[in-house]
Structure 1
């Protein structure tokens, strides 16, 4: 892959999209409220992310994969995301997403938004039905930071030319690893540790931070 001038790595849920995808899938199982409360606690950093994710995914057991079409129809891109990704590309940068969410949804959403590379968790499926387990290693805070470093090396980008944008505690290590950590639509613990805080829920506000 050709070298890039800079790299911007985004979280997905509540960052490039307004939704928390696991809550949308949980709605299909009638367990949306319970999973939403657990997700909020995980994003505030009150519980271990991997353990919380396994517990929340367990609530998805029995949901048919066919219902993902309904989930996708409910996805709301965050205002300004198209303008920001276009600006990244115009300036010779790479737009990446690393998510504690799921490839099953992100594999449609990310290319639709013009994202260059992405990584997420996978849901275990048997006979077209979610089993309630995560398939493979969990994308947690450490994995997010590793992805940023891996992509920076792959695109020939110095650490100082990387930007991480996220909202939850699971994004803090990625933000620490980046040259610039941006809290967007973020929980208090994240705002307190970020290099910069973007208040309006409009990703176009990040354009001014690009190299």
Structure 2
């Protein structure tokens, strides 16, 4: 009598059991991966909670020396706290309207020492645009310089203005070698705030003698 295999009502095909085991193994792996990810995330949160942070203003793009900073030039970023950041700007509005005293690369924290307020004429002073014989490339708004010209008698210089504050510089100063900064060259026309007496002294010189702007610390006085 031949042997007949009879499958009971509760039994399943062997192929179906193998497929179910694979699904269970895959589900276990997914659960383990999710649990590991959650554990790592929670560990990082615990570490970050113990690190003090602060918000500082950073340059959102490269800012050139002498540029007037607008709101879009800087953005706020959360960084680890450090005593080195005590002088960092902590408000975008505090940087807006200020003048960059040095070049600031994109992503660099902005410090108060890098900025200066835009100067005004102020009481007892006047503004005057002067065509310099010296190159204005190194001047930035807010600089204080001395204006000097050639002396009539001994060939030395004489001081026209002891302290002239730069109010505006040409946006694109042309540098043409020996011709750069020639007398009357409008590319070298710089606007200064200075006392009326000094302004009159500059007017008397007119275009007949060169006018140079020099660092106030480089000149010891008129000669």
TM-score of the superposed pair, with normalisation by structure 1: 0.26
Which structure: greater helix fraction? 1
Whichever of the two has the greater Rg, that structure is: 2
